Chains A and B, each alone.
Chain A
């Protein structure tokens, strides 16, 4: 399947109105993927500064590379415990 699978959790899923989406994209960075995502789900934008990202299950910075087939997770501030 082409594109990047994006999973959203907690408040981010609420704001986006979805828990999972597919973003058509080639080789991009996490930050570029975020811009595509925020365009499609404008409700997410105000959360930007609070969010962390994971690529294939590991925390990743904005300049990390993302390839088609990868799984990116949008992670609001964690609140376990």
Chain B
């Protein structure tokens, strides 16, 4: 499954649906929202936006790239958009493979590719303004 969703990601359901008798490994990567703090302010939540349907298609492309490189039998990538609270999952990647090495490598590959080329952006909303991560554009005094 490749999806961009607005609500919470059901990681357990993704893992459950990746179980197969011909696979001996399911590797799961869950990216969670980390809260940064400075002396005078802290992040309250993150907000993600995506260029759809391009972002959906890019997730599917990553799945196809993985299937070309490794012997995997199930790949799911789910990314959230909208407001994500501290420590919640913003992205989940689940890969099932007959062997663990392929599952580990493929899930690592998926998150690196997401960060490289999927048109999704996040904004840190601080107690004193916001910053677009990667562009350092925003309303915080300290945004460069």
Whether A54 touches B54, Cβ cut-off 8 Å, given contacts A76-B134, A79-B121, A81-B31, is yes
For window 10-60 of A, CB contacts with B under 8 Å fall at 10-12, 14-15, 47, 50, 54, 57-59
Inter-subunit contact B91/A80 (CB<8 Å)? yes
For window 57-78 of A, CB contacts with B under 8 Å fall at 57-59, 73, 75-78
Question: Which residues of A sit under 8 angstroms from B133, Cβ to Cβ?
Answer: 79
**Chain A interface extent, by class:** 20 to 34
Among A7, A10, A12, the most chain B Cβ lie within 10 Å of the Cβ of A10
Inter-subunit contact A80/B115 (CB<8 Å)? yes
Inter-subunit contact A79/B137 (CB<8 Å)? no
Inter-subunit contact A73/B135 (CB<8 Å)? no
CA distance A73 to B137 in the complex (A): 18
In the complex, the chain B residue whose C-beta lies closest to that of A75 is B119
Residue-wise interface mask of B (14-45) relative to A, using a CB-CB cutoff of 8 A (1 in contact, 0 not): 00000000000000000100000000000000
Interface residues of B (CB under 8 A from A): 31, 48-51, 53-55, 57, 79, 90-91, 111, 114-123, 132-135, 137-138
Nearest 7 pairs of A and B residues by beta carbon: A80-B120, A11-B135, A10-B121, A11-B137, A79-B134, A11-B132, A77-B134
